[in-house]
Structure 1
Amino acid sequence: MREPDASQFQKPREDMVVSVCFSELAASPTTFAALREVAATLDRAFRFREIILVVDDTQREAFLPLIAEVPNCRLFVVRRGTEYYDRRVIGAEEAIGDLVVIGNLDEIVHIDLIAFLAHAERENTVTMAFRAVRRPVKRLLAWPFIALGKLAGFNVDPSDFQSIAVPRTLLNLLLAHDEPRLALRFPPRDPRLALDWFRTTRNVPGRTAFMGLARRAQLLQTLLVYLTPTILSVVALSSTILTLLGLAYAAYIVGALIVVDTLAPGWLTTNAMLAVSAVFMGMSTLGLSLGLQHLLKQQRRLKGGIVPEEVNRIDLFQQVAFDLNVEVESDVRAGPAGAD
């Protein structure tokens, strides 16, 4: 007779709240079934959990039956066309859990979610899902992003899974980064942010090296934009060199005019125009690059640019207090009647 699995009799943990966020979902029966399975898996291991869904406003009605069926499932709607990385930031900012997963549903259903969370908690690291076996084409397409990522200070590898598990303290550091959109997908090279990989042997079916080319183009653009201060510094240096060369060339022309008795017809005007053009272009480009660098240093990172609408509000903190029979009393007491 087969012995029952002891894990099914374990009591769900009550010492933490878990948040799982999904930012790219299709309104299909397959998606709804997968979300129900994720909720059931979490409920077997944790007493308090929430699932955060960030979807287009056009999909609002399709997800309403699901959030009515699955407890503690929060739905946020954003404008259609909102970038994928911005959606991940929205999900992370709204999460209240002690452990937070910023996940891709296609990946989550093929990895051990509970082991994924346990690894992040045990190691206290930003944990990324990782598959050791890579296709050669994926490796070839990934190297330009890896190189740009190193220049920008991020651990960029598009071949890694998009799902990460993060303890709350480290999540706050990621959200406080200058570029949280990249930080939540490719953790920055920061000694305060310990990074680890959760290895899995399973691959996501149907995912090829040529899928998500539009997103990779968006990633390339984001990396180049983040490298703007470095690029501007290079431009400023090259403009300074060009200005100095132009001035040296102008000095050479003046010296030739003084030393040489007879110059070739048109030599003086042609070379004078070249020197003036070099000095003008160098000083103009230098001034523009320095001005842009000054503006970038003065600019503060804008927050709240994309405000999602929360369709259903839940009070998970109140639920935790009620389930654990915690009563909060005020320390402020009224004085005796008639006291001055």
Structure 2
Amino acid sequence: MREPDTNQFRKPREDVVVSVCFSELAATPATFAALRDLAATLDGAYRFREIILVVEDNQREAFLDIVREVPNTRLFVVRRGTEYYDRRVIAAEEAIGDLVILGHLDEIAALDVLAFLDFAEGENAVTMAFRPERKPFKRLAAWPFVALGKLAGFNVDPAEWQSIAMPRTLLNLLLAHDEPRLALRFPPRDPRLPREWFRTAAKVASRTAFNGVGRRLALLQTLLVYLTPTILSVVAITSALLTLVGLAYAAWIVGAVLLVDQLAPGWLTTNAMLAVSATFMGFSTLGLSLGLQHLLKQQRRLKGVSVPEEVNRIDLFQQVAFDLNVVLESDTPAPPPEA
């Protein structure tokens, strides 16, 4: 006889708010059905939850019906062509939950999403969905990204699943990172950000070796750009060495002029030009690299802002207060003035 599932009798938790965010969605019946199933699953375990959808402006009309149908679903519209990593940042910034998932819908549908959330909360860590089995070709194709990621300080592996779950405090640290676009996809190597793996045997048909080639090229470019300070530091060191070599060469030429009685015709002018060129190139490249490093340090905390348009607004805080019978100070009538 099959034993009943005790989870179906569990009272929905009221002590946390859950946010599940999606930044890449196709306007298909399968997508809408998966969103309905996800909402039903979350509603059975959590009293307060929200689903955040970030779509391009040409998909606005297609998602309006599902937003009306599924309560506490928030729809954000961004410009067409907004990069995938930028959309993830937008979704994370808009989330208000104590537990947050930044996910891919196909992966979330294949995962045990409740166990995923419980694991992230219990471990108090940035939790990444992970399938241990991987084809050798995928491992080989990922090594350039892994190597660049280590140099940049990120745990980069494009073959990993895109779904990530974490408590709110860790999400705030990721958003405060110098490069949140990368940090929200590949957590940085930071002792303040413990990382755990949620292992699963599930398969996702849409995850193929050649899927998202353009996104991987964009990831490669982003990693190289993020390595700019390191590259500039190397350029500054090599430029300083070139300057010293040019000065030493100039000193050797002066010594030759003073000590050698007769020099070959044209030797002095040729070597003098070489010394001047080496010194000038070293000084100019060193100055440019140091100047760029100074500008980068000044601009390091400035982030490009991509402002989305929220199609529907919900007041989840007010709903929590109403359901828990909490009186907000702003709603309390002021006492009558004393005579």
Q: TM-score range by the shorter chain?
A: over 0.9
Aligned amino acid, residue 5 of structure 1: D
* Residue in 2 that maps onto 1:152: 152
Name the residue aligned to 2:47. Answer: 47
Matched residue, 2:238: 238
Alpha-carbon distance in 1 for matches of 2:337, 2:220: 69
Structure 2 residues without counterparts, runs of 5 or longer: none
> What SS is found at the alignment partner of 1:91?
helix
Deviation per CA, 1:75-104: give whole Å up to 9, x if none: 000011111111000000000001000001
Equivalences, count: 338
SS at match of 1:59: helix
State the match for 1:18 in structure 2: 18
Letter matched to residue 201 of structure 1: A
Q: Using the TM superposition, give the Cα deviation of residue 257 of structure 1 relative to its aligned residue in structure 2, in angstroms.
A: 1.6
Amino acid of the residue matched to residue 35 of structure 1?
Answer: L
What is residue 218 of structure 1 aligned with on the other side? 218
Q: Name the Cα RMSD after superposition.
A: 1.6
2:78 corresponds in structure 1 to: 78
Counterpart of 1:175 in structure 2 is: 175
Shift of residue 206, structure 1, vs aligned partner: 3.7
Of 150-159 and 286-295, deviating more is: 150-159
Cα distance change, pair 132–2 in 1 and its aligned pair in 2 (3 A): closer
CA distance in 2, matches of 1:300, 1:239: 24
Question: What residue in structure 2 maps to residue 103 of structure 1?
Answer: 103
Aligned pair 1:276/2:276, yes or no?
yes
Which amino acid in 1 is paired with 2:274?
L
1:249 aligns to what? 249
State the distance in 2 between where 1:201 and 1:3 align.
Answer: 23
**2:249 is aligned with 1:258:** no
State the alpha-carbon separation in 1 of the partners of residues 104 and 159 from structure 2. 14
Does residue 30 (structure 1) correspond to residue 30 (structure 2)? The answer is yes
On the 8 A contact 2:74/2:310 being kept in 1, the answer is: yes
Per-residue deviation at 1:271? 1.2
SS in 1 for 2:209: coil
Where does residue 338 of structure 2 map in the other structure?
337
The alpha-carbon deviation at position 153 of structure 1 amounts to 1.1
Deviation at 1:334, TM superposition (A): 4.2
> SS of 1:128's equivalent?
strand
Residues 233-272 of structure 1, C-alpha deviations (whole Å, 9 max, x = no match): 1000000000110111111111112222222222222111
Give, in angstroms, the shift of residue 135 of structure 1.
Answer: 0.8
Structure 2 letter corresponding to 1:213: V
Say if 2:129 is the partner of 1:129.
yes
In structure 2, what is the equivalent of residue 60 of structure 1?
A: 60
1:120 corresponding residue in structure 2 = 120
Shift of 1:7: 2.2
**What residue in structure 2 maps to residue 287 of structure 1?**
287
- C-alpha separation in 2, matches of 1:315 and 1:134: 43
Helix, strand or coil: the match of 1:160?
coil
Verify: 1:322 aligned to 2:322, yes or no: yes
Identity of aligned residues (%): 78
Q: Which moved more, 1:100-109 or 1:326-335?
A: 326-335
What is the rounded CA distance, in whole Å, between the counterparts of 2:184 and 2:125 in structure 1? 13
Offset, 1:6: 2.7
- 1:70 CA drift (Å): 0.7
**Whole-angstrom CA distance in 2 between matches of 1:169 and 1:208:** 33
2:194 match: 194
Contact 2:178 2:300 in 1 (8 A): no
Question: Partners of 1:26 and 1:39 in 2: how far apart?
Answer: 17
Structure 1 runs (4+) deviating above 3 angstroms are: 1-4, 329-336
Looking at structure 2, the residues matched to 145 and 34 of structure 1 have their Cα atoms a distance apart, in angstroms, of 31
SS in 1 for 2:110: coil
Letter aligned with residue 30 of structure 2: T
Indicate if the aligned counterparts of 2:74 and 2:311 stay in contact, CA closer than 8 A. yes
Q: C-alpha displacement at 1:304, in angstroms?
A: 6.1
Q: Which amino acid aligns with 1:94?
A: E
Partner in structure 1 of residue 308 of structure 2: 308
Supply the distance in 2 between the matched residues of 1:73 and 1:14 (Cα, whole angstroms).
18
| Residue 204 (structure 1) shift | 1.1
CA contact (8 A) 2:24 2:84 kept: yes
* 1:337 maps to amino acid: E
Q: Report deviation, 1:220.
A: 1.1
User: 1:300 deviation in Å?
Assistant: 4.4
Structure 2 residue matching 1:47: 3-state secondary structure:
strand
**Once the 2 structures are TM-superposed, how far is the Cα of residue 328 of structure 1 from its aligned partner?**
2.6
Q: Which amino acid aligns with 1:158?
A: P
